Structure 1
Amino acid sequence: MAVKIEFAESAICDLEDIRSYYTEQQVPQVGENFILDIISHIETLADNPEIGRQVPEFAVSSIRELIHAPFRIIYLLNETSIQIIRVWRSERLMQLP
């Protein structure tokens, strides 16, 4: 059974920041492609919510991540839903909102 996927405000802001960064670098299509690919990757969670690994920085099994290089997609896994929390550059120190 597929679970519902929701986006936290922080994740939406992260995606907007990705778009802005690549637009400022004068390669807006790269940003758009990243966003589309990231969203497609996120959609795989609906049928496979546990495919992401536990986030190493946190000792909480319900906080998980998918790697979509160079980004980490951080999500909170509940019984009936997934909340996308952050879409974060891999080299940055992880911060939850």
Structure 2
Amino acid sequence: MAETHQVLWTDTARQDLIGIIDYIAQDSVEDALVVLDKLEAKAAQLTTLPSRGRIVPELLDTGISQYREIISAPWRIVYRIESQRVLVMAVLDSRRDLQVVLLNRLAH
């Protein structure tokens, strides 16, 4: 049986998700709900094989390798694996300059 992890959303990631959904809902509530379901389902897949996501390249370039991402185009779901937990750290639009956004948020 595959090892399972608990997927938890940080407050920051929840705020990202709310912002995305609110923005899309300005044009279409139906589309916003579809995106919400899609992003939550994609993150939920991390309960098994959370290491399937790639290391975030913009962070790896600066020597930070503990953050991974999965793509649900055009969104990037950034997360960190901690023991039996997967912490969703951010949901970001891949069309933005992510190096600055990620470094400001995730680098300590």
Name the counterpart of 1:11: 13
Cα distance in 2 for partners of 1:8, 1:92 equals 21
Q: Scaled by the length of structure 1, what TM-score is found? A: 0.92
What is the CA distance between 1:28 and its match in structure 2? 1.0
Contiguous gaps of at least 5 residues in structure 2? none
User: In the TM superposition, what whole-angstrom CA distance separates every residue of 1:10-59 from its partner, at most 9, and x where no partner exists?
Assistant: 1101111111111212x111111011011111111111111100000112
Higher helix share: 2
Structure 1 outlier segments of 4+, above 3 Å: none
Structure having the higher Rg = 2
- Unaligned runs of 5+ residues in structure 1 are none
Task: Answer whether contact 1:72 1:89 (CA < 8 A) is retained.
Answer: yes
TM-score by length of 2: 0.83
Report 1:33-48 matches (<5 A): 33-48=34-49
CA RMSD of aligned residues (A): 1.1
Q: Aligned ranges for residues 68-79 of structure 1 at < 5 Å?
A: 68-79=72-83
1:49 correspondence with 2:53:
no
Count matched residues: 96
Query: What is the percent sequence identity of the aligned residues?
Result: 26
Aligned-partner residue type, residue 21 of structure 1: Y
